[in-house]
Protein backbone atom coordinates (compact mmCIF):
# COMPACT_ATOMS: atom_id res chain seq x y z
CA UNK A 1 0.00 0.00 0.00
CA UNK A 2 1.07 3.60 -0.59
CA UNK A 3 -0.31 6.47 1.48
CA UNK A 4 -2.95 4.14 2.88
CA UNK A 5 -4.17 3.00 -0.55
CA UNK A 6 -3.64 -0.26 -2.35
CA UNK A 7 -1.50 -0.44 -5.47
CA UNK A 8 -3.75 -2.66 -7.57
CA UNK A 9 -1.46 -2.50 -10.61
CA UNK A 10 1.30 -4.21 -8.65
CA UNK A 11 -0.93 -7.21 -7.88
CA UNK A 12 -2.37 -7.32 -11.39
CA UNK A 13 1.08 -7.20 -13.03
CA UNK A 14 2.99 -9.46 -10.68
CA UNK A 15 0.47 -11.47 -8.65
CA UNK A 16 -0.67 -15.04 -9.13
CA UNK A 17 -3.85 -15.54 -11.22
CA UNK A 18 -6.13 -15.73 -8.16
CA UNK A 19 -4.54 -12.60 -6.71
CA UNK A 20 -5.01 -10.74 -9.99
CA UNK A 21 -8.70 -11.64 -10.07
CA UNK A 22 -9.25 -10.55 -6.47
CA UNK A 23 -7.32 -7.32 -7.00
CA UNK A 24 -9.36 -6.54 -10.10
CA UNK A 25 -12.61 -7.06 -8.16
CA UNK A 26 -11.49 -4.80 -5.31
CA UNK A 27 -10.28 -2.19 -7.81
CA UNK A 28 -13.80 -1.81 -9.20
CA UNK A 29 -15.49 -2.09 -5.81
CA UNK A 30 -13.46 0.70 -4.22
CA UNK A 31 -13.36 2.90 -7.33
CA UNK A 32 -17.13 2.90 -7.73
CA UNK A 33 -17.64 4.61 -4.39
CA UNK A 34 -16.59 7.88 -6.04
CA UNK A 35 -19.95 7.85 -7.85
CA UNK A 36 -21.52 9.08 -4.60
CA UNK A 37 -18.51 11.00 -3.33
CA UNK A 38 -17.52 8.27 -0.86
CA UNK A 39 -14.07 7.09 0.18
CA UNK A 40 -13.12 3.86 1.91
CA UNK A 41 -11.21 3.69 5.20
CA UNK A 42 -7.66 2.52 5.71
CA UNK A 43 -9.11 -0.47 7.57
CA UNK A 44 -10.99 -1.53 4.44
CA UNK A 45 -7.84 -1.10 2.34
CA UNK A 46 -5.88 -3.34 4.71
CA UNK A 47 -8.69 -5.93 4.78
CA UNK A 48 -8.80 -5.91 0.98
CA UNK A 49 -5.04 -6.48 0.86
CA UNK A 50 -5.36 -9.53 3.12
CA UNK A 51 -8.08 -10.95 0.90
CA UNK A 52 -6.09 -10.30 -2.28
CA UNK A 53 -3.04 -12.03 -0.82
CA UNK A 54 -5.14 -15.00 0.25
CA UNK A 55 -4.84 -14.57 4.02
CA UNK A 56 -8.64 -14.37 4.40
CA UNK A 57 -11.64 -15.25 2.22
CA UNK A 58 -13.97 -12.63 0.84
CA UNK A 59 -16.67 -13.72 3.30
CA UNK A 60 -14.24 -13.29 6.19
CA UNK A 61 -13.32 -9.85 4.83
CA UNK A 62 -16.98 -8.81 4.70
CA UNK A 63 -17.59 -10.01 8.27
CA UNK A 64 -14.48 -8.22 9.54
CA UNK A 65 -15.64 -4.94 7.99
CA UNK A 66 -19.08 -5.39 9.54
CA UNK A 67 -17.66 -6.11 12.99
CA UNK A 68 -15.22 -3.21 12.73
CA UNK A 69 -18.09 -0.73 12.73
CA UNK A 70 -20.18 -2.68 15.27
CA UNK A 71 -17.37 -2.63 17.85
CA UNK A 72 -15.82 0.76 16.99
CA UNK A 73 -15.68 2.83 20.20
CA UNK A 74 -14.53 6.18 18.82
CA UNK A 75 -16.54 7.82 16.09
CA UNK A 76 -15.46 10.36 13.51
CA UNK A 77 -17.69 12.80 11.66
CA UNK A 78 -17.46 10.85 8.40
CA UNK A 79 -17.96 7.37 9.91
CA UNK A 80 -21.39 6.88 8.33
CA UNK A 81 -20.03 7.59 4.84
CA UNK A 82 -16.97 5.41 5.38
CA UNK A 83 -19.08 2.54 6.71
CA UNK A 84 -21.28 2.67 3.61
CA UNK A 85 -18.22 2.81 1.33
CA UNK A 86 -16.46 -0.03 3.19
CA UNK A 87 -19.43 -2.39 3.41
CA UNK A 88 -20.57 -1.72 -0.14
CA UNK A 89 -17.02 -2.21 -1.44
CA UNK A 90 -16.69 -5.59 0.27
CA UNK A 91 -20.12 -6.64 -1.03
CA UNK A 92 -19.26 -5.60 -4.60
CA UNK A 93 -15.94 -7.40 -4.40
CA UNK A 94 -17.74 -10.62 -3.50
CA UNK A 95 -20.14 -10.18 -6.43
CA UNK A 96 -17.27 -9.69 -8.86
CA UNK A 97 -15.30 -12.65 -7.53
CA UNK A 98 -18.07 -14.98 -8.75
CA UNK A 99 -19.35 -15.63 -12.28
CA UNK A 100 -23.00 -16.14 -11.24
CA UNK A 101 -25.36 -13.86 -13.15
CA UNK A 102 -29.11 -13.87 -13.76
CA UNK A 103 -30.29 -11.79 -16.69
CA UNK A 104 -33.73 -10.74 -15.49
CA UNK A 105 -35.58 -8.10 -13.47
CA UNK A 106 -35.16 -10.30 -10.41
CA UNK A 107 -31.44 -10.61 -11.21
CA UNK A 108 -31.04 -6.83 -11.30
CA UNK A 109 -32.85 -6.53 -7.95
CA UNK A 110 -30.65 -9.29 -6.54
CA UNK A 111 -27.52 -7.34 -7.49
CA UNK A 112 -28.81 -4.26 -5.65
CA UNK A 113 -29.69 -6.40 -2.63
CA UNK A 114 -26.25 -8.04 -2.61
CA UNK A 115 -24.45 -4.70 -2.94
CA UNK A 116 -26.37 -2.86 -0.21
CA UNK A 117 -27.04 -5.71 2.21
CA UNK A 118 -26.60 -4.35 5.72
CA UNK A 119 -26.43 -0.76 4.42
CA UNK A 120 -29.94 0.11 3.19
CA UNK A 121 -33.14 -1.32 4.64
CA UNK A 122 -34.63 -1.11 1.16
CA UNK A 123 -31.83 -3.11 -0.48
CA UNK A 124 -33.22 -5.02 -3.45
CA UNK A 125 -36.58 -3.21 -3.37
CA UNK A 126 -37.88 -0.95 -6.14
CA UNK A 127 -38.75 2.62 -5.23
CA UNK A 128 -42.39 3.50 -4.65
CA UNK A 129 -42.33 7.20 -5.52
CA UNK A 130 -41.15 9.43 -8.37
CA UNK A 131 -37.79 11.15 -8.13
CA UNK A 132 -35.67 13.93 -9.57
CA UNK A 133 -32.01 14.73 -8.90
CA UNK A 134 -30.11 17.94 -9.41
CA UNK A 135 -27.06 17.23 -11.55
CA UNK A 136 -23.87 19.26 -11.64
CA UNK A 137 -23.34 18.35 -15.28
CA UNK A 138 -26.85 19.68 -16.09
CA UNK A 139 -26.31 22.88 -14.08
CA UNK A 140 -28.89 21.82 -11.49
CA UNK A 141 -31.46 20.31 -13.82
CA UNK A 142 -32.60 16.66 -13.60
CA UNK A 143 -32.96 13.74 -15.96
CA UNK A 144 -36.58 12.65 -16.43
CA UNK A 145 -36.63 9.29 -14.63
CA UNK A 146 -39.20 6.52 -15.09
CA UNK A 147 -42.52 6.57 -13.21
CA UNK A 148 -42.38 4.30 -10.20
CA UNK A 149 -45.56 2.48 -11.28
CA UNK A 150 -43.88 1.46 -14.56
CA UNK A 151 -40.48 0.35 -13.28
CA UNK A 152 -40.80 -3.42 -13.60
CA UNK A 153 -42.50 -3.22 -16.99
CA UNK A 154 -39.86 -0.79 -18.32
CA UNK A 155 -36.94 -2.99 -17.23
CA UNK A 156 -38.59 -6.15 -18.57
CA UNK A 157 -39.06 -4.41 -21.91
CA UNK A 158 -35.42 -3.24 -22.10
CA UNK A 159 -34.08 -6.67 -21.13
CA UNK A 160 -36.27 -8.48 -23.66
CA UNK A 161 -35.34 -6.06 -26.45
CA UNK A 162 -31.66 -6.65 -25.70
CA UNK A 163 -32.19 -10.43 -25.51
CA UNK A 164 -33.67 -10.44 -29.01
CA UNK A 165 -31.26 -7.93 -30.54
CA UNK A 166 -29.16 -9.20 -33.44
CA UNK A 167 -25.53 -8.10 -33.11
CA UNK A 168 -24.37 -10.17 -36.07
CA UNK A 169 -24.54 -7.34 -38.62
CA UNK A 170 -22.79 -4.71 -36.49
CA UNK A 171 -19.19 -3.55 -36.64
CA UNK A 172 -17.29 -2.86 -33.42
CA UNK A 173 -18.26 0.80 -33.26
CA UNK A 174 -21.95 0.03 -33.76
CA UNK A 175 -21.76 -2.58 -31.00
CA UNK A 176 -20.40 0.02 -28.60
CA UNK A 177 -23.19 2.43 -29.53
CA UNK A 178 -25.87 -0.19 -28.98
CA UNK A 179 -24.44 -1.37 -25.66
CA UNK A 180 -24.23 2.23 -24.46
CA UNK A 181 -27.87 2.77 -25.41
CA UNK A 182 -28.96 -0.41 -23.60
CA UNK A 183 -27.10 0.44 -20.39
CA UNK A 184 -28.30 4.06 -20.49
CA UNK A 185 -31.89 2.80 -20.71
CA UNK A 186 -31.52 0.53 -17.68
CA UNK A 187 -29.98 3.39 -15.66
CA UNK A 188 -32.63 5.93 -16.70
CA UNK A 189 -35.41 3.73 -15.34
CA UNK A 190 -33.74 4.27 -11.94
CA UNK A 191 -35.54 1.41 -10.17
CA UNK A 192 -33.92 1.93 -6.75
CA UNK A 193 -34.09 4.77 -4.25
CA UNK A 194 -30.31 4.91 -3.86
CA UNK A 195 -27.31 3.13 -5.32
CA UNK A 196 -28.69 3.02 -8.86
CA UNK A 197 -25.40 3.83 -10.65
CA UNK A 198 -23.33 1.35 -8.68
CA UNK A 199 -25.93 -1.33 -9.36
CA UNK A 200 -25.99 -0.47 -13.07
CA UNK A 201 -22.19 -0.66 -13.22
CA UNK A 202 -22.05 -4.15 -11.68
CA UNK A 203 -24.97 -5.36 -13.81
CA UNK A 204 -23.11 -4.05 -16.87
CA UNK A 205 -19.83 -5.76 -15.97
CA UNK A 206 -21.50 -9.10 -15.32
CA UNK A 207 -23.68 -8.87 -18.44
CA UNK A 208 -20.70 -8.05 -20.66
CA UNK A 209 -18.72 -10.91 -19.15
CA UNK A 210 -21.63 -13.27 -19.82
CA UNK A 211 -21.54 -12.18 -23.47
CA UNK A 212 -17.86 -12.98 -23.85
CA UNK A 213 -16.34 -9.51 -23.48
CA UNK A 214 -13.17 -8.93 -21.53
CA UNK A 215 -13.93 -5.86 -19.44
CA UNK A 216 -11.22 -3.35 -18.54
CA UNK A 217 -12.19 -2.94 -14.89
CA UNK A 218 -9.65 -0.15 -14.44
CA UNK A 219 -12.15 2.08 -16.24
CA UNK A 220 -14.67 1.76 -13.40
CA UNK A 221 -11.94 2.36 -10.83
CA UNK A 222 -10.61 5.55 -12.43
CA UNK A 223 -13.66 6.93 -14.24
CA UNK A 224 -16.71 6.00 -12.16
CA UNK A 225 -17.91 9.60 -11.83
CA UNK A 226 -17.43 10.10 -15.57
CA UNK A 227 -19.53 6.96 -16.12
CA UNK A 228 -22.36 8.44 -14.09
CA UNK A 229 -22.20 11.85 -15.78
CA UNK A 230 -22.09 10.16 -19.19
CA UNK A 231 -25.28 8.26 -18.28
CA UNK A 232 -26.87 11.58 -17.30
CA UNK A 233 -26.00 13.24 -20.62
CA UNK A 234 -27.18 10.21 -22.60
CA UNK A 235 -30.61 10.57 -20.97
CA UNK A 236 -31.09 14.34 -20.86
CA UNK A 237 -32.98 16.41 -23.40
CA UNK A 238 -34.33 19.95 -23.10
CA UNK A 239 -35.72 21.12 -26.43
CA UNK A 240 -36.53 24.58 -25.07
CA UNK A 241 -32.82 25.09 -24.38
CA UNK A 242 -31.77 23.36 -27.61
CA UNK A 243 -30.18 20.41 -25.79
CA UNK A 244 -30.63 16.89 -27.19
CA UNK A 245 -29.61 13.46 -25.91
CA UNK A 246 -25.81 13.17 -26.09
CA UNK A 247 -24.69 9.52 -26.01
CA UNK A 248 -21.19 10.11 -27.41
CA UNK A 249 -19.64 10.50 -23.94
CA UNK A 250 -20.95 7.09 -22.87
CA UNK A 251 -19.91 5.55 -26.19
CA UNK A 252 -16.36 6.81 -25.61
CA UNK A 253 -16.39 5.15 -22.19
CA UNK A 254 -17.49 1.84 -23.73
CA UNK A 255 -14.91 2.06 -26.51
CA UNK A 256 -12.18 2.44 -23.89
CA UNK A 257 -13.79 -0.25 -21.73
CA UNK A 258 -14.07 -2.94 -24.42
CA UNK A 259 -11.96 -1.94 -27.41
CA UNK A 260 -8.92 -0.69 -25.53
CA UNK A 261 -9.08 2.80 -27.04
CA UNK A 262 -7.77 5.89 -25.29
CA UNK A 263 -10.52 8.45 -25.76
CA UNK A 264 -10.09 11.42 -23.43
CA UNK A 265 -12.63 11.20 -20.58
CA UNK A 266 -13.09 14.46 -18.72
CA UNK A 267 -16.18 15.44 -16.74
CA UNK A 268 -15.95 19.11 -17.63
CA UNK A 269 -16.47 18.30 -21.30
CA UNK A 270 -19.96 17.04 -20.47
CA UNK A 271 -21.40 20.06 -18.69
CA UNK A 272 -24.15 21.73 -20.71
CA UNK A 273 -23.36 25.19 -22.13
CA UNK A 274 -19.74 25.00 -20.94
CA UNK A 275 -17.47 28.03 -20.70
CA UNK A 276 -15.00 28.26 -23.57
CA UNK A 277 -12.12 26.84 -21.52
CA UNK A 278 -14.17 23.72 -20.71
CA UNK A 279 -15.09 22.84 -24.28
CA UNK A 280 -13.49 19.75 -25.74
CA UNK A 281 -10.57 20.65 -28.00
CA UNK A 282 -10.53 19.01 -31.39
CA UNK A 283 -7.35 17.11 -30.54
CA UNK A 284 -9.18 15.22 -27.76
CA UNK A 285 -11.85 14.05 -30.21
CA UNK A 286 -9.39 12.38 -32.58
CA UNK A 287 -9.59 8.78 -31.19
CA UNK A 288 -13.34 8.67 -31.92
CA UNK A 289 -12.56 9.15 -35.59
CA UNK A 290 -10.49 6.00 -35.89
CA UNK A 291 -12.00 3.46 -38.32
CA UNK A 292 -14.00 0.56 -36.92
CA UNK A 293 -12.72 -1.84 -39.59
CA UNK A 294 -10.05 -4.09 -38.13
CA UNK A 295 -6.60 -4.10 -39.77
CA UNK A 296 -5.34 -7.15 -41.64
CA UNK A 297 -2.59 -7.62 -39.09
CA UNK A 298 -4.17 -8.01 -35.67
CA UNK A 299 -2.74 -6.16 -32.67
CA UNK A 300 -1.54 -8.34 -29.82
CA UNK A 301 -4.44 -7.43 -27.54
CA UNK A 302 -7.20 -8.34 -30.00
CA UNK A 303 -7.24 -12.16 -29.56
CA UNK A 304 -8.24 -11.73 -25.89
CA UNK A 305 -11.22 -9.66 -26.93
CA UNK A 306 -12.65 -10.89 -30.22
CA UNK A 307 -10.38 -13.49 -31.88
CA UNK A 308 -8.95 -16.90 -31.09
CA UNK A 309 -6.07 -19.00 -32.39
CA UNK A 310 -8.12 -22.16 -31.82
CA UNK A 311 -9.16 -23.39 -35.29
CA UNK A 312 -11.73 -25.77 -33.78
CA UNK A 313 -13.53 -22.85 -32.12
CA UNK A 314 -13.47 -20.93 -35.41
CA UNK A 315 -14.95 -23.91 -37.23
CA UNK A 316 -17.67 -24.28 -34.58
CA UNK A 317 -18.50 -20.56 -34.86
CA UNK A 318 -18.91 -20.92 -38.62
CA UNK A 319 -21.18 -23.94 -38.09
CA UNK A 320 -23.47 -22.21 -35.59
CA UNK A 321 -23.54 -18.81 -37.27
CA UNK A 322 -26.69 -16.85 -36.47
CA UNK A 323 -28.68 -19.97 -35.66
CA UNK A 324 -28.83 -22.37 -32.72
CA UNK A 325 -28.24 -26.12 -32.82
CA UNK A 326 -28.21 -29.24 -30.66
CA UNK A 327 -25.03 -31.27 -30.16
CA UNK A 328 -26.19 -33.84 -32.73
CA UNK A 329 -27.01 -31.19 -35.30
CA UNK A 330 -23.59 -29.58 -34.92
CA UNK A 331 -21.80 -32.95 -35.12
CA UNK A 332 -23.69 -33.78 -38.31
CA UNK A 333 -22.69 -30.46 -39.84
CA UNK A 334 -19.07 -31.02 -38.82
CA UNK A 335 -19.13 -34.64 -40.09
CA UNK A 336 -18.05 -35.99 -36.70
CA UNK A 337 -19.24 -39.08 -34.80
CA UNK A 338 -17.51 -39.11 -31.40
CA UNK A 339 -19.65 -37.01 -29.02
CA UNK A 340 -17.14 -37.03 -26.14
CA UNK A 341 -14.34 -35.85 -28.42
CA UNK A 342 -16.59 -33.18 -29.95
CA UNK A 343 -17.43 -31.83 -26.49
CA UNK A 344 -13.78 -31.79 -25.39
CA UNK A 345 -12.31 -30.31 -28.56
CA UNK A 346 -15.04 -27.98 -29.80
CA UNK A 347 -17.86 -27.20 -27.36
CA UNK A 348 -16.14 -26.91 -23.98
CA UNK A 349 -13.27 -24.65 -25.18
CA UNK A 350 -15.75 -22.41 -27.03
CA UNK A 351 -17.92 -22.07 -23.92
CA UNK A 352 -14.90 -21.51 -21.67
CA UNK A 353 -13.66 -18.69 -23.93
CA UNK A 354 -17.23 -17.32 -24.08
CA UNK A 355 -17.77 -17.57 -27.81
CA UNK A 356 -20.68 -20.00 -27.35
CA UNK A 357 -23.44 -20.19 -24.76
CA UNK A 358 -26.28 -22.53 -23.82
CA UNK A 359 -29.87 -21.69 -24.69
CA UNK A 360 -30.88 -22.98 -21.23
CA UNK A 361 -27.84 -22.17 -19.05
CA UNK A 362 -29.57 -23.11 -15.77
CA UNK A 363 -30.50 -26.56 -17.13
CA UNK A 364 -27.47 -28.02 -18.95
CA UNK A 365 -29.35 -31.31 -19.51
CA UNK A 366 -32.51 -29.65 -20.80
CA UNK A 367 -34.17 -32.00 -23.35
CA UNK A 368 -34.36 -29.14 -25.90
CA UNK A 369 -30.91 -27.77 -25.13
CA UNK A 370 -29.25 -25.91 -27.99
CA UNK A 371 -26.11 -23.85 -28.42
CA UNK A 372 -25.73 -20.36 -29.89
CA UNK A 373 -23.09 -17.67 -30.20
CA UNK A 374 -22.50 -14.96 -27.62
CA UNK A 375 -22.07 -11.34 -28.74
CA UNK A 376 -18.33 -12.03 -28.80
CA UNK A 377 -18.93 -15.13 -30.92
CA UNK A 378 -21.17 -13.22 -33.33
CA UNK A 379 -18.51 -10.55 -33.64
CA UNK A 380 -15.92 -13.12 -34.70
CA UNK A 381 -18.48 -14.82 -36.98
CA UNK A 382 -18.92 -11.48 -38.76
CA UNK A 383 -15.19 -11.25 -39.39
CA UNK A 384 -14.88 -14.89 -40.42
CA UNK A 385 -17.63 -14.60 -42.99
CA UNK A 386 -15.93 -11.51 -44.39
CA UNK A 387 -12.76 -13.55 -44.73
CA UNK A 388 -10.69 -11.25 -42.52
CA UNK A 389 -9.58 -14.02 -40.16
CA UNK A 390 -9.69 -17.01 -42.50
CA UNK A 391 -6.59 -19.14 -42.74
CA UNK A 392 -4.82 -19.17 -46.09
Q: Give dist(CA 71, CA 305) in Å, integer.
A: 46
pLDDT of residue 294: 35
Closest CA to 62 of 29, 106, 101, 108: 29
| pTM, 2 dp | 0.75
pLDDT of residue 336: 86
Burial letters for 289-298: b for 16+ Cβ neighbours within 10 Å, e otherwise?
eeeeebeeee
Under 8 Å between Cβ of 319 and 377: no
- Domain pair 128-293 / 302-386, same fold: no
Domain 128-293 -> CATH class: mainly alpha
Under 8 Å between Cβ of 224 and 36: no
Q: Please measure the distance between the N-terminal and C-terminal CA atoms of the chain and give it in whole angstroms.
A: 50
Distance (Å) of CA 385 to CA 169, 191, 264, 378, 390: 11, 41, 33, 10, 8
Dihedral pair phi/psi, residue 252, rounded to 5° = -60, -40
Distance (Å) of CA 83 to CA 77, 124, 225, 349: 11, 19, 20, 42
Beta carbons within 8 Å of 231's beta carbon, 6+ residues apart: 183, 184, 187, 188, 197, 200, 250
Dihedral pair phi/psi, residue 363, rounded to 5° = -130, 75
pLDDT of residue 291: 38
Secondary structure (DSSP) of 336-360: ---HHHHIIIIIHHHHHTTSEEESS
Secondary structure (DSSP) of 108-119: HHHHHHHHHTTT
Beta bridge partners of 356: 373
* Domain assignments of the chain as residue spans, ordered by start: 1-98, 128-293, 302-386
pLDDT of residue 140: 92
Beta bridge partners of 238: 243
pLDDT of residue 168: 84
392 residues of the chain, pLDDT tens digit each = 444 467 787 887 788 889 999 999 999 999 999 988 899 999 999 999 999 999 999 999 999 999 999 998 777 777 889 999 999 999 999 999 998 899 999 999 999 999 999 999 999 999 999 999 999 999 999 999 989 999 999 999 999 999 999 888 888 899 999 999 999 999 999 999 999 999 999 999 999 999 989 888 889 988 999 999 999 999 999 988 899 999 999 999 999 999 999 999 999 999 998 887 777 776 555 444 433 443 333 333 334 456 787 888 988 998 998 888 999 999 998 888 888 888 988 999 999 888 899 988 878 888 889 998 888 888 788 777 764 433 32
Domain 302-386 -> CATH class: mainly alpha
Amino acid sequence: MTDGYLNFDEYIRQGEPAQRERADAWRVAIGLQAVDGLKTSEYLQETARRNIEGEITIDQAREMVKQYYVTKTTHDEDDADKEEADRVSSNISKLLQTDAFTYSVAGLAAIHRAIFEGVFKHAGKFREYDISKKEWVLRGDSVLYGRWQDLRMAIEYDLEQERQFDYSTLDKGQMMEHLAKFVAGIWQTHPFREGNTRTTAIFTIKYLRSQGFKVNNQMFEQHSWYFRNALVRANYRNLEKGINYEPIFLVRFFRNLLLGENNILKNRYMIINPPEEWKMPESDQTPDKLPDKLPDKLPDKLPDKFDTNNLHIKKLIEIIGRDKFSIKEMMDKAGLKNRESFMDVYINPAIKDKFVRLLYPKSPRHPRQKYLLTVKGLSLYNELTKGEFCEE
